[in-house]
């Protein structure tokens, strides 16, 4: 086994010591992962040479292997050794076998298919494309990586913490002698994101150094770990209910669950929890729960802040499409800005994997009679339409079984529109909806349940849908239609002028694929009431939609009962920034399209809205927003079924293992917590704790906040942790957003997500939550 870093030539005895220590570290980590003696893990630890692909001419050998911590991959060049070329397995989104990335499709031959694989990363990090020596070896790499990633992801929060702390202890042990000096203990504290006073560090060190040797080893390090991970707040809670010889009996546990957690718990529930989470077999035999078992339970998904009953699909999915909020993306093909950034099929994959159910395709004539997708009249790169359709076909239903809408911005000639229709028909096959469900003309939109596994096209259509059921339907030839393109920030007169000018010749083959989402221009609510059919959808630019939401909220809600509305960002948002989707949801707009590639509060709120109901991308609107005679107005808030005044009490108790925002060793965060409520204007609120200086490891606040929530059905709660900076803006550390009605009461851990929406391993908040009726 090679050492992690390339060192000057070692003596034989030093090599043996290094090897022995490596084996010890690996043994600890493999045990924690439950992979002792696993052949796949052994393969990764040994590693191997792969060909890294960047272009047709750039294919270079790279040695890739797993480091001792069993979660970091290291790669080196044949000529120069760069030990900083590492990446964490926790940063991997997916490992794909075959020529499944844009790079491998472009730069390798078809016969290399079986030897290729790609490592796709979370966020904006570029993927790694490799060619293995054989198909068998490529399969081994993919299977081994997927297995280890799965095992890491399946660790509970407590196990992840242990793994992380152990790794930091190894890093702090600079001379690799399995002992910690006082100086190394100080370094360790910095690694885990805490800066402690020298006197306190010395006191802690002396308390653990029972042998008075001037260093910690063996049991002393274990004692140091116990002191470090001691959580007084948990001790107090456990101590209150551990009334049976210092342990919790099933009856004690039921009392805790009913009194503090406000759960309808039975003795059977208590026995199940003890059987599942008590780590000490002797305690388990006595039907008791120890403090360790209690802590383990509090970290489980069933005990977190999100109601576990809302994690799977729990809503009625048999209502018309217009009765749901639908997770939607704008200019889905873009990875960055709107003017010169890259377009990529990977952007569609990422959006669909996040549960997005409406993606956008800006289609233009390309060379060799192949339509392309890009942001017209800009320097954004172009990708083939057929490659996008293939990506959609493969990833449309991996996260959700419910229908995907392809929003076509069609700028193509008739010839290339026919190519588009041909590609969608041949690639999507039976998944593509090309005619209404049933044998007669429908009277409303179908439901998500009826459209499971189906793909719908939103675009222009030459005739009415009713023509499909005429005894002798008019065989409409290619004809002119008004081009409904997104505006680029022009005023109304300019837009009208452009619409009159922009006549698009529409191919019948493409027109016939538009069934339930025929694009039409919106004129007024009165005109829509008299002339717009249920299957006709209007797109609103952000400014127009917000104006309608502010000035005609109730009319907008009624309009959205049986018709779909799509909202898109202003053309001036060339940086791919986003707008607040909440006011549009408050007026029943279903397809509120955001720039998924841009990490921001608005995207956090969007992901929070669609966190529940199985991450299906569909969330049922409240009953009073599905009633065409509704009197609901989110601004005036007259009395009605929507008004259910609640008091939300939040006690921010503590946080655990917050990541550094700056990876410099000396950088320690000063965390504060903000609690934000999004919803109708009367519910919008924000409160924050004071910052804790130099402690990202286990900061404590014990601060109480109260919020009035008048329309809980539409409210979302966001918990955000920031690094306080009195000189400039605070820096983001992590956040978690969920619907108000999905909050669990009592003492709850809150997982934290990164800016890109990925889970931060080990990091979290600990809160006490109570929701009470105000009247």
Q: Which of 163, 299, 310, 330 is catalytic?
A: 330
Q: Where are the alpha helices (DSSP H) in 173-244?
A: 182-191, 198-208, 219-229, 232-241
Neighbours of 161 (CB within 10 A): 19
Phi, psi dihedral angles at 687 (to 5 degrees): -140, 155
Other beta carbons within 10 Å of 360: 24
Residue 239's Cβ-count burial label (10 Å; 0-12, 13-18, 19+) is exposed
The distance between the two most distant Cα atoms of the chain, rounded to a whole number of Å, is 98
* Sign of CA pseudo-dihedral 357, 362, 363, 367: negative
Phi-psi region of 279 (alpha: psi -120 to 50; beta: other; left: phi over 0): alpha
In sequence order, what are the beta bridge partners of 695?
194
The DSSP element (H or E) to which 98 belongs, if any, is none
Structure tokens at 621: 């609107």
The CA distance from 757 to 683, in Å, is 25
Q: Are 566 and 517 in contact (CB under 8 A)?
A: no
At residue 749, the 3 state secondary structure works out as: strand
Residue whose C-alpha is closest to residue 648's, from 747, 746, 738, 769:
769
Query: How many CA atoms lie within 13 Å of 422's alpha carbon, on the beta-carbon side?
Result: 9
CA-CA distance, 677 to 691, in Å (whole number)? 20
Question: Of the listed 163, 375, 749, 768, which one is catalytic?
Answer: 375
772 in helix, strand or coil? strand
199, two tokens = 């006197």
Q: Which two tokens stand for residue 436?
A: 């209404």
**Catalytic residue check, 330:** yes
Q: Is 760 helix (H, G, I), strand (E, B) or coil?
A: strand
User: Nearest Cα to 254, choosing from 203, 244, 245, 355?
Assistant: 244
| Residue 645 among the catalytic residues | no
DSSP assignment letter at 309: G
Where do we find the tokens 């217009």?
322
Q: How far apart are the C-alpha atoms of 426 and 392, rounded to whole Å?
A: 13
| DSSP codes of every residue in 625-670 | GS-TT----TTT--SSTT---EEEEEEEEEEE-PPPSS-STT----
277 within 8 A of 238, measured Cβ to Cβ = no
Dihedrals φ, ψ of 769, to 5°? -125, 135
- How many Cα atoms occupy the beta-carbon half-sphere of 131 within 13 Å? 20
Catalytic machinery residues: 330, 375
């Amino acid at each position: 086994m090679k050492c992690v870093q390339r060192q000057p030539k070692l003596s034989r005895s030093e090599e043996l010591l290094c090897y022995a220590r490596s084996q010890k570290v690996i043994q600890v980590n493999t045990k924690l992962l439950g992979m002792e003696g696993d052949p796949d893990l052994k393969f990764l630890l040994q590693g191997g040479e792969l060909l890294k692909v960047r272009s047709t001419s750039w294919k270079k050998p790279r040695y890739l292997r797993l480091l001792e911590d069993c979660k970091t991959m290291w790669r080196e060049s044949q000529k120069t050794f760069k030990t900083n070329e590492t990446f964490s397995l926790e940063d991997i989104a997916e490992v794909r076998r075959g020529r499944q990335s844009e790079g491998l499709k472009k730069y390798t031959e078809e016969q290399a298919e079986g030897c290729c694989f790609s490592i796709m990363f979370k966020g904006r990090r570029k993927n790694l494309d490799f060619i293995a020596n054989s198909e068998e070896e490529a399969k081994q790499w993919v299977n081994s990586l997927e297995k280890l990633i799965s095992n890491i992801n399946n660790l509970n929060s407590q196990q992840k913490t242990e793994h992380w702390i152990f790794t930091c202890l190894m890093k702090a042990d600079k001379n690799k002698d399995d002992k910690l000096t006082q100086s190394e203990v100080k370094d360790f504290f910095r690694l885990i994101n805490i800066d402690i006073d020298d006197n306190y560090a010395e006191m802690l060190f002396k308390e653990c150094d029972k042998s008075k040797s001037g260093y910690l080893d063996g049991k002393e390090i274990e004692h140091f770990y116990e002191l470090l991970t001691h959580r007084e707040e948990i001790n107090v809670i456990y101590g209150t209910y551990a009334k049976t010889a210092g342990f919790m009996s099933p009856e004690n546990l039921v009392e805790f669950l009913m009194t503090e957690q406000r759960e309808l718990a039975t003795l059977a529930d208590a026995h199940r929890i003890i059987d599942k989470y008590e780590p000490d077999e002797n305690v388990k035999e006595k039907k008791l729960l120890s403090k360790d078992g209690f802590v383990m339970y509090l970290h489980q998904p069933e005990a977190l802040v999100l109601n576990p009953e809302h994690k799977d699909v729990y809503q009625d999915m048999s209502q018309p499409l217009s009765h749901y909020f639908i997770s939607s993306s704008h200019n889905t093909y873009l990875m960055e800005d709107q003017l010169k950034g890259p377009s990529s099929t990977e952007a569609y994959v990422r959006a669909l994997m996040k549960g997005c159910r409406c993606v956008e395709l800006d289609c233009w004539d390309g060379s060799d009679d192949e339509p392309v997708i890009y942001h017209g009249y800009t320097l954004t790169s172009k990708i083939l339409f057929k490659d996008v359709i293939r990506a959609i076909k493969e990833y449309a239903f991996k996260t959700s079984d419910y229908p995907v809408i392809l929003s076509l911005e069609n700028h193509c000639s008739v010839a290339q529109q026919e190519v588009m229709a041909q590609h969608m028909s041949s690639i999507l096959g039976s998944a593509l909806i090309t005619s209404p469900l049933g044998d007669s003309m429908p009277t409303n939109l179908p439901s998500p349940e009826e459209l499971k596994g189906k793909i719908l096209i939103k675009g222009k259509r030459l005739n009415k849908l009713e023509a499909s059921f005429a005894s002798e339907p008019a065989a409409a030839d290619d004809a002119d239609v008004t081009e409904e393109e997104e505006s680029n920030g022009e005023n109304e007169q300019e837009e009208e002028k452009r619409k009159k000018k922009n006549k698009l010749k529409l191919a019948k083959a493409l027109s016939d694929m538009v069934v339930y989402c025929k694009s039409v221009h919106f004129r007024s609510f009165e005109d829509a009431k008299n002339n717009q059919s249920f299957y006709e959808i209007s797109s609103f630019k952000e400014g127009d939609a917000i104006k309608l939401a502010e000035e005609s909220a109730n009319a907008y809600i009624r309009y959205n009962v049986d018709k779909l509305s799509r909202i898109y960002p202003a053309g001036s948002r060339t940086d791919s920034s986003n707008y607040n989707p909440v006011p549009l949801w408050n007026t029943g707009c279903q397809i509120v399209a955001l720039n998924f590639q841009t990490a921001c509060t608005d995207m956090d709120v969007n992901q929070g809205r669609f966190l529940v109901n199985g991450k299906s991308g569909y969330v049922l609107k409240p009953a009073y927003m599905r009633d065409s005679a509704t009197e609901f107005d989110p601004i005036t808030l007259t009395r009605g079924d929507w008004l259910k005044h609640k008091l939300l009490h939040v006690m921010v108790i503590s946080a655990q293992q917050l990541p550094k925002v700056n990876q410099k060793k000396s950088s320690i965060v000063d965390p504060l917590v903000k609690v934000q409520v999004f919803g109708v204007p009367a519910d919008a609120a924000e409160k924050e704790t004071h910052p804790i200086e130099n402690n990202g490891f286990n900061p404590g606040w014990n601060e109480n906040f109260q919020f009035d929530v008048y329309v809980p059905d539409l409210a979302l709660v966001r918990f955000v942790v920031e690094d306080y900076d009195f000189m400039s803006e605070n820096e983001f550390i992590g956040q978690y957003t969920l619907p108000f009605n999905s909050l669990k009461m009592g003492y709850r851990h809150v997982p934290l997500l990164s800016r890109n929406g990925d889970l931060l391993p080990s990091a979290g908040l600990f809160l006490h939550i109570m929701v009470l009726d105000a009247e």
